[in-house]
Amino acid sequence: MRTATKFLALALIALAVSTASAGPAKGSYASVNGVNMYYEVTGKGRPIVLIHGAFCTIDGCFSKLVELLSKNRQVIAVELQGHGHTADVDGRPLRTTTMADDVAALLDKLKIANADVYGYSMGGGVATQLAIRHPRLVGKLVIAGAALTKDGSQPGITEMIKAIKPEQMEQSPFGDAYKKVSPHPDKFRTLVTKIQNLESFDGYKVEDLKKIKSPVLFLLGDADGPTVEHGAAMLRLFGGGAFGDTGQPRAKSQLAILPGTSHIELVFRADWIAAMVTAFLDAK
């Protein structure tokens, strides 16, 4: 429990800073699969979809990243079921599969036939499912701070997350941010419980991950929830990791491990991440 409390304290500090300048809603809504999904579109060019992490909002996870990426791209940032401005749906659990289907339906409504996708933390799991279930929609894929197999996380991290009490979270900046923008500000504890029961904690089947044909940038911190060994394993699974000085065509999938960076701190590495993501997306 002490570890869970320490994790919560660090997360609260991070969120308090990252949402301090959050302004009024400037996006739109789309009805998809029974969810009234909030999204924001910024910039022009080839589209990239940003999918946030658990408990987060567009401003909380991505405000600086949107600013940097939208200089040369059209950025479509979404808020998933029960997060931010997007209301929860009674009787509908949170599943990376259904949230991926929601994002796919939004892209269809926006008449976007193909986009690059960036998913952070829980959003990395959603982005992974999007590439598995709707491959036609996904160009290049960036998975940031997400373990894709059960053995890919630091020991005890799942138990730590499930030990956090909903009432603790409600009295935090996470809960405060939720209440400011949610259509149903009294349902935060329900969101916490639903996140603690995500099916993605059990990981994805390797045979399903192998179905992903998009080039993948697997990105994590050196003190992240996913282990650095998991990063190397995912690089090889997605076709990378071979010796690059043989004159043979270079693998399109890549691995980036950010030094001195924890899971929460990935949110504050927007300058580094934007540069790496831009280079990855621009590579032929």
Three-state SS for 95-164 is CHHHHHHHHHHHHHHCCCCCEEEEEECHHHHHHHHHHHHCHHHEEEEEEECCCCEHHHECCCHHHHHHHC
Q: Residue 11 has what pLDDT?
A: 53
Q: What is the pLDDT along the chain (284 residues), one digit of tens a residue?
A: 444 444 444 454 455 444 444 444 489 999 999 999 999 999 999 999 999 999 999 998 999 999 999 999 999 999 999 999 999 999 999 999 999 999 999 999 999 999 999 999 999 999 999 999 999 999 999 999 999 999 999 999 889 888 888 888 888 888 888 999 999 999 999 999 999 999 988 899 999 999 999 999 999 999 999 999 999 999 999 999 999 999 888 899 999 999 999 999 999 999 999 999 999 999 98
Residues in CB range of 284: below 8 A, 6 or more apart: none
Distance of CA 260 to the CA centre of its chain: 20
d(CA 61, CA 129): 20
Instruction: Give the per-residue pLDDT at 164.
Output: 87
Is the pTM above the cut of 0.85? yes
CATH 3.40.50.1820 given to domain 2-11+27-244+254-282? yes
The string of pLDDT tens digits covering residues 194-237 is: 999 999 888 999 999 999 999 999 999 999 999 999 999 999 99
Q: Which helix (H) or strand (E) holds 228?
A: helix 228-237
Rounded to the nearest 10 degrees, the angle between the axes of helix 2-18 and helix 58-69 is 50
Task: Determine contact, residues 151/204, Cβ cutoff 8 Å.
Answer: no
* Residue type at 138 in one-letter notation: V
Rounded to 5°, the CA angle 221-6-267 comes to: 35
Give yes or no for a contact between 52 and 22, defined as CB atoms under 8 angstroms apart. no
The predicted pLDDT at position 129 comes to 98
Note the pLDDT tens digit of each residue in 56-95. 999 989 999 999 999 999 999 999 999 999 999 999 999 9
Rounded CA separation 178/185 (Å): 6
